[in-house]
């Protein structure tokens, strides 16, 4: 997949989300007409109507972006996601998470997604849905499962493609809302957030920033392919090992869960 196909798929997802949100609207209106309830009952449909309109507007935007990029991108050889130190994140509408990882040429290197797309979860606020453990699949550019991240309240369990536990990431809150500590094996990563919760930095025990996530900043030559300037750009320090990078993506999955719920 490349960024043009992503915009096409994103447009379809937003259109489906708009149609799905119409289901409770039709149900409540039918119930109101048949039972003759108080008119205040119709206030229940307002959130669904607003979301349906917003999703349809997003569908139109993504469709226009897709049309602008049609036949402008060349096929690129897919590189390993663990070897790419600067990537861009994008999100598809989902009950929990569908995070696509792109390289600078607009080619998908991999994806982290929750495969449980139960219909009722679309209507659950994140506050309720986060009480249950989530398992996210970490896929490469060929859509082959590489790892699984089981996200719980205070930890993330990492399993290989055979579903064998290979590591556990422990989360420790601090007295600052913008700071969280993650531990695995003998390593410790300190996550620092900006006050607006748009930028993130992961520092190791030495205070070296091994990961920077910035939103609203993009290299100029990327902008002709990525038409939304608000895609988060992830920069990984050259000293990060493959094992470190796997744990980094597990943390990113926890951070960006419900990004486009």
Per-residue tens of pLDDT for the chain, all 261 residues: 777 888 888 888 889 888 888 888 888 888 777 877 667 667 778 888 898 999 899 899 888 888 877 665 555 555 678 888 899 998 887 777 889 999 888 888 999 998 776 666 666 665 565 667 788 999 998 889 999 999 887 889 999 988 899 999 998 887 777 788 999 888 889 998 887 777 899 998 888 899 999 987 777 878 778 878 788 999 999 888 899 999 999 999 988 886 654
How far apart (Å, rounded) are the C-alpha atoms in residues 14 and 30? Answer: 25
Q: How far is 101 from 143, CA to CA, in rounded Å?
A: 12
Confidence (pTM): 0.77
Q: Determine contact, residues 101/246, Cβ cutoff 8 Å.
A: no
Two structure tokens written together for 107: 């080619």
Residue 137: predicted pLDDT = 93
Give the C-alpha distances (Å, rounded to integers) separating 50 from 18, 24, 25, 94, 123: 10, 12, 11, 18, 14
pLDDT at residue number 84: 87
Please tell me the predicted confidence (pLDDT) of residue 170: 92
Query: Are 140 and 146 within 8 A, CB to CB?
Result: yes
């Amino acid at each position: 997949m490349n960024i043009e196909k992503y915009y096409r798929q994103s447009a379809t997802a937003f259109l489906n989300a708009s149609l799905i949100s119409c289901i409770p609207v039709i149900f409540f209106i039918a119930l109101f007409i048949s039972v003759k309830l108080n008119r205040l009952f119709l206030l229940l449909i307002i959130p669904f109507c607003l979301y349906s309109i917003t999703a349809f507007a997003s569908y139109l935007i993504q469709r226009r972006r897709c049309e602008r990029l049609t036949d402008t991108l060349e096929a690129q050889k897919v590189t390993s996601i663990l070897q790419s130190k600067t990537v861009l994140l994008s999100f598809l509408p989902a009950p929990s998470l569908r995070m696509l990882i792109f390289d600078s040429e607009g080619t998908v290197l991999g994806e982290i997604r929750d495969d449980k797309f139960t219909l009722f979860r679309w209507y659950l606020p994140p506050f309720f849905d986060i009480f249950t453990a989530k398992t996210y699949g970490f896929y490469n550019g060929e859509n082959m499962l590489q790892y699984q991240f089981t996200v719980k309240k205070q930890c993330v369990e990492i399993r290989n493609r055979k579903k064998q536990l290979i590591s556990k990431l422990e989360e420790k809150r601090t007295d600052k809302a913008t700071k969280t500590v993650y531990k695995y094996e003998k390593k410790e990563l300190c996550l620092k957030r900006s006050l607006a919760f748009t930028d993130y930095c992961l520092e190791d025990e030495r205070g070296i920033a091994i990961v920077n996530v910035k939103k609203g900043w993009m290299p100029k030559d990327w902008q002709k392919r990525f038409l939304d300037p608000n895609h988060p750009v992830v920069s990984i320090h050259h000293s990060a090992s493959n094992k470190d990078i796997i744990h980094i993506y597990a943390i990113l999955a926890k951070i960006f869960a419900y990004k486009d719920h």
